[in-house]
């Protein structure tokens, strides 16, 4: 008989704790083995009980959730799902937690709804099951970026055009994606000779907070995309939660709220296909950690036009679902440790530039 997933619930509200426990008890594959009302009490119990998954609130007395999360990741690495408020402040705190090693989050307001059957209650169960399968390699400490510039000349950079002189990169990610993105985007130099588009499965508000956090940590500007943005080198745009993002032949980003695809909006496949259609062989698709198959059809479109693809390797994925799907389909040119992806992108992009810029790339590497 399959062992049950042993869950531990942490929240300073007894009502929230009981609501979560009641919801989890409806699934025969999950067993709640304990609970706590602050971070300090949680750590004492977690060290003894060693649960498979922890749900963790942020604002608590004695020790808050972020402090507790740091101790969990350093002392007893365990998959953690954060309990988040659907506010700008809540989104910002959640992004910090994901960066520290939390696997996922769910929205606190819906967790309190007594009816069940809404997306959050069922979603919580699914996320706990997903977190229980996450890889321990995901909990490694993020290195601080040490970046040298490629040395692209001003005159050369001014002449570059997307799909003509420089590549367009599409990075797709889901569960564990914020942490993975923090191990790629901040390591790109400020004169990076490519445009970057990110599609992260995440609700509104959270994509804005993630883009802001990446922007703070990176040398190239990162922003949540707006309809009409121009795709240009040394800039990163992230698809807003709730919107599909496509690129047109005029190098413009267009957003739409067409129906979800594969149950998600934004969808990685949609962005990748649009980029492949416009930029052809100068398209580069990157598929990072996440559940499901989003990104497989997109990388197929990129490969069909002569573009290149990279996927994150299993040991560093929180969930090896989307990358594995690309690998199984025979569409991955490179399967790399997360720490090697930024450098590989630099190498790929340098190879597409003129001889003057290539010389600078060779000097860097």
Residue 208 near residue 91 (C-beta atoms within 8 A): yes
Residue 2 CB burial class (10 angstroms; 0-12, 13-18, ≥19): exposed
Going by C-alpha positions, the residue among 298, 294, 256, 255 that lies closest to residue 277 is: 298
Q: Strand 53-56 relative to strand 104-107: parallel, antiparallel, unpaired?
A: unpaired
- Measured between alpha carbons, how far is 285 from 119 in angstroms, rounded to an integer? 30
Query: Which strands, in side-by-side order, build the sheet including 236-238?
Result: 222-224, 236-238, 195-200, 168-173, 283-287, 308-312, 334-336
Options 174, 218, 234, 274, the catalytic residue? 174
201 assigned to active site: yes
- Measured between alpha carbons, how far is 10 from 48 in angstroms, rounded to an integer? 15
Phi, psi of 125 (to 5 degrees): -60, -45
Options 37, 201, 244, 360, the catalytic residue? 201
174 assigned to active site: yes
Structure tokens at 161: 């055009």
Options 294, 300, 333, 360, the catalytic residue? 294
Catalytic residues: 174, 201, 294
């Amino acid at each position: 008989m399959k062992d049950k997933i042993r869950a531990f619930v942490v929240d300073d509200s007894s009502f929230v704790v009981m609501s979560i426990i009641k919801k989890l008890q409806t699934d025969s594959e999950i067993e709640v083995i304990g609970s706590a009302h602050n971070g300090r009490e949680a750590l004492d119990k977690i060290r003894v009980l060693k649960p498979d998954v922890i749900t963790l609130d942020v604002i608590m007395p004695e020790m808050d959730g972020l402090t507790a999360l740091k101790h969990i990741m350093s002392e007893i690495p365990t998959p953690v799902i954060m309990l988040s408020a659907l506010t700008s402040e809540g989104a910002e705190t959640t992004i910090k937690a994901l960066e520290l090693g939390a696997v996922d989050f769910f929205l606190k307001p819906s967790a309190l709804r007594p009816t069940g059957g809404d997306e959050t209650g069922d979603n919580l169960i699914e996320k706990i099951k997903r977190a229980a399968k996450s890889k321990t390699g995901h909990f490694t400490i993020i290195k601080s970026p040490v970046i040298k510039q490629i040395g692209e000349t001003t005159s050369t950079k001014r002449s570059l055009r997307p799909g003509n002189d420089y590549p367009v990169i599409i990075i797709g990610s889901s569960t564990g994606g914020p942490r993975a993105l923090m191990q790629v985007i901040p390591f790109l130099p400020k004169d990076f000779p490519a445009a970057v588009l990110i599609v992260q499965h995440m609700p509104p508000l959270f994509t804005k907070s993630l883009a802001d956090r990446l922007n703070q940590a990176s040398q190239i500007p990162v922003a949540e995309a707006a309809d009409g943005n121009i795709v240009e080198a040394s800039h990163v745009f992230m698809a807003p939660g709730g919107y599909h993002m496509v690129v047109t032949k005029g190098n413009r980003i267009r957003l739409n709220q067409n129906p979800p695809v594969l149950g998600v909006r934004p969808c990685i496949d949609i962005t990748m296909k649009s980029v492949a259609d416009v930029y052809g062989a100068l398209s580069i698709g990157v598929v990072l950690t996440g559940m499901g198959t989003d990104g497989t059809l997109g990388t197929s479109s990129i490969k069909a036009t002569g573009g290149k693809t990279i996927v994150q390797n299993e040991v560093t994925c929180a969930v090896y679902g989307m990358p594995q799907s690309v690998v199984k389909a025979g569409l991955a040119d490179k399967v790399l440790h997360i720490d090697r992806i930024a450098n590989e992108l630099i190498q790929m992009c340098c190879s597409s530039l003129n001889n003057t810029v290539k010389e600078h790339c060779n000097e860097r590497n």
